Amino acid sequence: MRLESAINAGYLDPDGINATEGSCEFVWKSYTAAFMDNQIRVIDHDAGDRTTSEGQAYAMFFALVANDRPRFDGLLRWTEVNLASGDLTSHLPAWAWGKGPNNKWGTIDSNSASDADVWIAYTLLQAGSAWKEPHYTWLGTALAKRIATEETAQIPGFGTVLLPGVSGFHNGDTYRLNASYVPLQLFLGLGRELPDGPWHQIAEQIPAMVQGSSPNGFASDWVEFKSGKGLIPASPGSYDAIRVYLWAGMLDSGTGERDSILKALSGMARYLHTNAVPPAKVKPEGGVEDPKSPVGFSAALAPYLSALGEKNLESEQMSRVQSEINSKNGLYGNPARYYDQNLLLFGLGWKSRQFWFDSQGHLITTWQGSH
């Protein structure tokens, strides 16, 4: 059987029946059944059935990885109509949509979430290339330009950064930042596609941001830059920070600064040498506040442990992942949560080489190969 045919039987067709239980393609099929409705919006059942720009962005990425263009188009259409007032070229997506206090469905938080915006812009540009669709390229370019205009800042004494959203993250000489919002490979990819934008300048500051948010080897969710003081962790590391390890682990081995980023995050691997389960929350000084994380954390750490050459630790975390699959619905954890499944899709998809990134941030998928 040709590789494409095998993939189309499962991962590339969410309705396929040949995906192997526990594989990335099986998780994607199960995820679309459990967390998407017929409008093609991603639903977080644990948060009042709301939809976020993050959920739509990740799903668009996985639809591209799956070569599922109809679902990709549905996700894009719903996002543009409901989160961007019908026009992604003129409006950044609102962060959250759901049932408001008046019991009416609509935008419930109009502020933007820049990480989701970056994922959407990046995915549109990659989709334009992969599917040879100029409209995606045009739309991704327009969205990227709006991100550059509305969600970036030049910090004196530090450099160009991505603010987490349009409002609420800059007050005087204090900037509140989030290292999980800036996967290095995405900014390298944006810089490659749009060399006139601020993407390479932002990429240059990412290693310093990771290092500043991880003074004891554990990433923090939030970090603040204050004039004269530099970067200071502003919160424990938890559900945001777990993605910092994930993004670092998925960097191509030829990516500059990869090793320095991994070195800054060494605390997690050190912890796992004596603890079977990753911590759910770690204080900035390195003390564990909550030792029991959900299963998605283990999947997110698999690429990171692989990049460090920690094969035994990686195997232990993957054993935990496989032990928590629910054979009835194909999802992981009890209950199966939206965010965990996304971490699993990233971790399992990268491990099984359904997708990967080259050293310039270009997305490569199994169905398109290196072209």
3-class secondary structure per residue, 43-79: CEHHHCCEEEHHHHHHHHHHHHHCCCHHHHHHHHHHH
pLDDT digits (tens, 9 = 90+) for 332-353: 999 999 999 999 999 999 999 9
Per the domain annotation, does 44 fall within a domain?
yes
The answer to whether position 272 is within a domain reads no
Residues 105 and 99: beta-carbon distance below 8 Å: yes
Is 46 among the domain residues?
Answer: yes
| Residue 137 is assigned to a structural domain of this protein | yes
User: Does a structural domain hold residue 82?
Assistant: yes
Q: What percent of the chain has pLDDT over 70?
A: 93
For residue 256, what are the contacts with CB-CB under 8 A and spacing of at least 6?
359
pLDDT of 44 > 50? The answer is yes
pLDDT category, 368, cuts 50, 70, 90? confident
7 pLDDT higher than 90: no
Residues 6+ apart with CB under 8 A from 221: 178, 180, 235, 236, 237, 238, 239, 240, 241
pLDDT of residue 19: 53
At 66, the amino acid letter reads A
CA proximity to 153, closest of 168, 184, 182, 175: 175
Residue 196 within any structural domain of the chain: no
The one-letter amino acid code at 62 reads F
Dig out the tokens for 150 from the structure.
Answer: 């509305």
**β strands within the chain, DSSP E:** 51-52, 96-99, 105-109, 152-155, 159-162, 170-171, 174-177, 223-226, 230-233, 281-282, 288-290, 325-326, 331-332, 355-357, 363-365
**Catalytic, out of 13, 25, 44, 54:** 54
- The rounded distance, in Å, linking the Cα atoms of 115 and 151 is 10
Residue 14 has pLDDT above 50, yes or no: no
The one catalytic residue among 25, 80, 115, 221: 115
Q: What is residue 185's three-state secondary structure?
A: helix
Looking at residue 21, its pLDDT comes to 60
**In the structure, what pLDDT confidence band is assigned to residue 22 with cuts at 50, 70 and 90?**
low
Core vs surface per residue 239-253: b (16+ CB within 10 A) or e: bbbbbbbbbbbbbbe
Query: Residue 345 falls within a domain, yes or no?
Result: no
Tell me, yes or no, whether 90 lies in a domain: yes
Query: Looking at residue 3, what is its pLDDT?
Result: 31
pLDDT at 25: 74
Q: What would the mean pLDDT of 179-198 be, rounded to a whole number?
A: 98
Indicate if 221 belongs to the active site: no
Residue 185, number of CB atoms within 10 A of its CB = 25
Report pLDDT for 369: 72
* Catalytic annotation present for 54: yes
Enter the tokens of residue 82. Answer: 């409901």
Q: How would residue 15 be classed by pLDDT, with cut points 50, 70 and 90?
A: very low
Residue 77 belongs to a domain with what CATH number? 1.50.10.10
Residues of the domain holding 118: 36-150
Tens digit of pLDDT for each residue in 266-293? 999 999 999 999 999 999 999 999 999 9
pLDDT: which is higher, 126 or 286: 126
Residue 227 CB neighbour total at 10 angstroms: 13
How many independent structural domains does the chain possess?
A: 1
The single residue listed with the structure tokens 């070195």 is 263
pLDDT recorded at residue 20: 59
